[in-house]
Amino acid sequence: SEHDTGQIYMPFVNWGLFAAIVLAVVMFKSSTNLAAAYGIAVTLDMLITTVLTFYVIRYGWKYPLWLCVAATGFFFVVDLAFFTSNLLKLFAGGWFPLLIGGLVFTLMMTWKRGRGLMGEAQQAEALDLPSFLEAVFVSPPVRVAGTAVFLTAESGTVPNALLHNLKHNKVLHEQNLFVTVRSHEVPWIAPAERLQMEPLGHDCWAVTLNYGFKDEPDVPKALQLMRGHGCEMASMTTSYFLSRDVVTPTLGGGMAPWREKLFAQMHHNASAAAQFLHLPNNAVIELGSKIEI
């Protein structure tokens, strides 16, 4: 949707819902047996909607507290009464929507918390990019022909891929771009606002690419906007360096061990960034790095 950032159609999820519905029908065999599950699902949904309504009118619309409580309190009591009465059917099939909801909630919160821990770990070890380049060029490594594009989640920090490239290959390209892709809560970003670049000296640039939630990220196409601004890129001599992070669970970390292992598996199965950013397959170099959470 161009108007609502949360309205996203994902075919895989829709087919997954279809399979789950067929499985539920086969398990319960009749609509009568599904009545308990349906009752708990509907009444719990009503209760959650009432609670969220309170947060919207209180913290989103900034209405007075007494008015928010008065507006939602009556409906909360009614919805709670309906939900608790349906709990009597918990063992007659009412457990099914609670189980599904609990599983999905656990996955979502594990992913959210895991991403937060990853960000904290990366920030703790992050190096300042301008200071790092200044130190590198005191005794510069061998410069090789071509352009290197380093994808980084946080602008102004040194990508792990650059560190590994210098450590193992001991070379630096003639031109080096440190690219951060930003997604904004607007449907479209005008082409004139797509690219922001900052020269770092020694033929290095910090680049930020801006996209709306309806734009399709295409990094190679966006970087062509740098032509005529001191950086001439040729597709045949451009390499894209990505950090392939491997999550390692640790004892005493930010989550329970089983949740850390679950997040590590979810992160491993996540879609590759190269495909999402439309990077050419024959020009992508992934350098692994280990992150402990």
Contact 34, 44 (CB under 8 A): no
| Residues whose CB is less than 8 angstroms from the CB of residue 65 and which lie 6 or more positions away in sequence, other chains included | 58
Reported pTM: 0.79
Residue where the block lists tokens 């200071």: 131
**Total count of residues recorded for the chain:** 293
| Number of helical (H) and strand (E) elements in the chain, helices listed first | 9, 6
Beta bridge partners of 245: 289
* pLDDT, position 220: 92
Q: Which helix (H) or strand (E) holds 134?
A: helix 129-136
Interval 112-149: pLDDT, tens: 999 998 888 888 888 899 999 999 998 889 999 999 99
Interval 166-208: pLDDT, tens: 888 889 999 999 999 998 888 899 988 999 999 998 889 999 9
Q: Where are the domains of the chain?
A: 11-93, 128-292
CA distance 79 to 50: 8
